[in-house]
């Protein structure tokens, strides 16, 4: 079973949105039983909190329901997941510091050419959602083409 983790800073906005969008795309294609999807933060500041209300509302505006409790990624998680998709390149740096460089090949930016902007500061949750959706669709297509799913 392929295991994919999405990672942002607090695990209350972008990464739980990516988790929910990717699960929704898998569901639409009848592939939900082939992949385990979860999300994490690189910080523990929001640990225990639910999805930020505006992030949840944005998902719901697009017909996606979600439930998640924020948690910080650990070295144990890093050993478990095949793909760790980060919203910003600096999150990759934080994770590689934590694992002392181990599993570096698993940690990739969700968006290849730029960071997924943080709606916590822009307040533009629709823009982040659109970026996340486009990148999740590309990721899913790539994994299917490569025969990983
Ligand atoms: P996220 O957004 O990393 O997409 O979950 C943020 C959530 C909380 C904070 C920053 C970004 N914060 O500074 O509390």
Bridge partner list, 37: 4
CA 27 to chain CA centroid, nearest Å: 16
Query: Is 10 near ligand 1, meaning CB less than 6 Å away?
Result: yes
Confidence band, pLDDT 50/70/90 cuts, at residue 91: very high
Query: Is 115 near ligand 1, meaning CB less than 6 Å away?
Result: no
Query: pTM of the full predicted structure?
Result: 0.98
State pLDDT tens for residues 34-83. 999 999 999 999 999 999 999 999 999 999 999 999 999 999 999 999 99
Domains in the chain, number? 1
In whole numbers, what is the pLDDT of the chain averaged over residues? 98
Structure confidence at residue 45 (pLDDT): 98
Structure confidence at residue 102 (pLDDT): 96
Separation of 122 CA from ligand 1 center, angstroms? 11
- Mean of pLDDT values over 120-135: 97
Crossing angle between the packed helical segments 14-28 and 53-61, to the nearest 10 degrees: 20
Domain that holds residue 18: 2-145
Q: Residue 66: which CATH number?
A: 3.40.50.2300
Structure confidence at residue 75 (pLDDT): 95
**How far is Cα 71 from Cα 46, in angstroms, rounded to an integer?**
7
């Amino acid at each position: 079973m392929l295991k994919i983790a999405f990672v942002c800073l607090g695990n209350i906005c972008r990464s739980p949105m990516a988790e929910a969008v990717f699960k929704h795309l898998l569901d639409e294609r009848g592939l939900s039983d082939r992949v385990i999807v979860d999300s994490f933060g690189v910080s523990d500041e929001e640990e225990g909190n639910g999805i930020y209300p505006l992030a949840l509302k944005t998902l719901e505006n697009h017909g996606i329901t979600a439930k998640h409790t924020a948690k910080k990624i650990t070295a144990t998680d890093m050993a478990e997941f095949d793909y760790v998709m980060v919203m910003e390149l600096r999150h990759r740096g934080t994770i590689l510091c934590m694992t002392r460089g181990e599993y570096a090949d698993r940690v990739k930016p969700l968006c290849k050419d730029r960071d997924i902007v943080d709606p916590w500061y822009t307040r533009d949750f629709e823009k982040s959602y659109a970026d996340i959706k486009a990148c999740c669709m590309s990721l899913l297509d790539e994994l299917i083409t490569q025969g990983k799913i």
